[in-house]
Amino acid sequence: MKHPKRMIAHNATKALLTVLVSYSAIMSAVFARPQPATKASLLDRIQIEDMIVGYYAELGSGDHNFGEYFVDDSVFLLNGLKYEGLEAIEALYASFDDISDNMSRGKFRMLLTNLQVAVDGDTATASMIWTGVMNEDLKGAPTLVEQGREYDILEKRDGVWYFKERVVVADSGLPDMFDDSYENAEPSKD
């Protein structure tokens, strides 16, 4: 019988390697020089941008169906934690409902900047910076709540774009639930 501590260390190492390999594949695709634009790829890019903006518009709304943005076999790497499959991803978002109830003191919005989209047929990559902003009341100044980066692989199925794989990394405003996983959220750039 294997020693329990060794088994835990082995499983943690295996999980970290899976995250790093997935992250490296996305990063290579995201930073590759994009193909020249065509009419079809420009239309796909607009559809992808609309899908991503629609997804982020639902955050903090309390009225959402995030599952409609993912393919059934999606992978979501969130601050070092890995969620595989639509059921696991939907359960994650359901757990966030409690968090958004606590943020009901105003309007929460996500700003998306530095969006880069590269389309290659029925697949695409996207990267962006996201910034969470809280507007507590009409007279007060907005407050920056969080900021981070996102790297995606998308697939077009039956003419509709979906997330196939997402990597989301916080740079500030990290929720407590990611304290233990975050140190492994991103590989070193060395």
**Is there a domain that residue 51 lies in?**
yes
Is residue 58 domain-resident?
yes
In a domain, 105, yes or no: yes
The model's pLDDT over 124-149, given as tens digits with 9 standing for 90+, comes to 999 999 999 999 988 999 999 999 99
Q: Is the pLDDT of residue 6 over 80?
A: no
**pLDDT score of 119 more than 70:** yes
What mean pLDDT is predicted for residues 49-63? 83
The helix/strand/coil state of 31 is coil
What per-residue confidence (pLDDT) applies to 83?
A: 94
Say what the alpha-carbon torsion angle 182, 48, 27, 123 is, to the nearest 10 degrees: 130
Report the share of the chain in percent with pLDDT over 90.
51
Provide the pLDDT confidence category of residue 190 given band limits of 50, 70 and 90: very low
- What is the number of other CB atoms lying within 10 angstroms of the CB of residue 167? 26
* Mean pLDDT, rounded, of the chain: 81
List, in order, residues 6 or more apart from 108 with CB less than 8 Å away.
59, 60, 100, 132, 133, 134, 135, 145
pLDDT bracket for residue 106 (50, 70, 90): confident
Total number of domains constituting the chain: 1
Residue 179's SS3 state is coil
The 10 Å CB-count burial string (b at 16+, else e) for 117-128 is: bbbeeeebbbbb
Residue 189 lies in a domain: no
| pTM summary value | 0.74
CATH number at residue 128: 3.10.450.50
Question: What's the DSSP call for residue 86?
Answer: H
DSSP state for residue 37 in the 8-state scheme: P
Q: How much is the pLDDT for 161?
A: 97
pLDDT of res. 14: 55
Higher pLDDT, 65 or 98: 65
Cα 124 to chain center, whole Å?
15
Q: How far apart are CA 186 and CA 19, in angstroms?
A: 9
Instruction: Choose the weakest-confidence range: 31-35, 80-84, 91-95, 181-185.
Output: 31-35
Decide if 190 is inside a domain.
no
Residue 130 and residue 150 in contact, taking contact as beta carbons nearer than 8 Å? yes
Predicted pLDDT at 5: 52
In whole angstroms, give the CA distance from residue 92 to residue 181: 15
| pLDDT at site 74 | 95
Helix (H, G, I), strand (E, B) or coil at 8: helix
108: in domain: yes
* Residue 18 covered by a domain: yes
Side chain identity at 7, as an amino acid letter? M
Which range has the worst mean pLDDT, 95-99, 114-118, 176-180?
95-99
- Please give the residue range of the domain that contains residue 102: 4-184
In a domain, 111, yes or no: yes
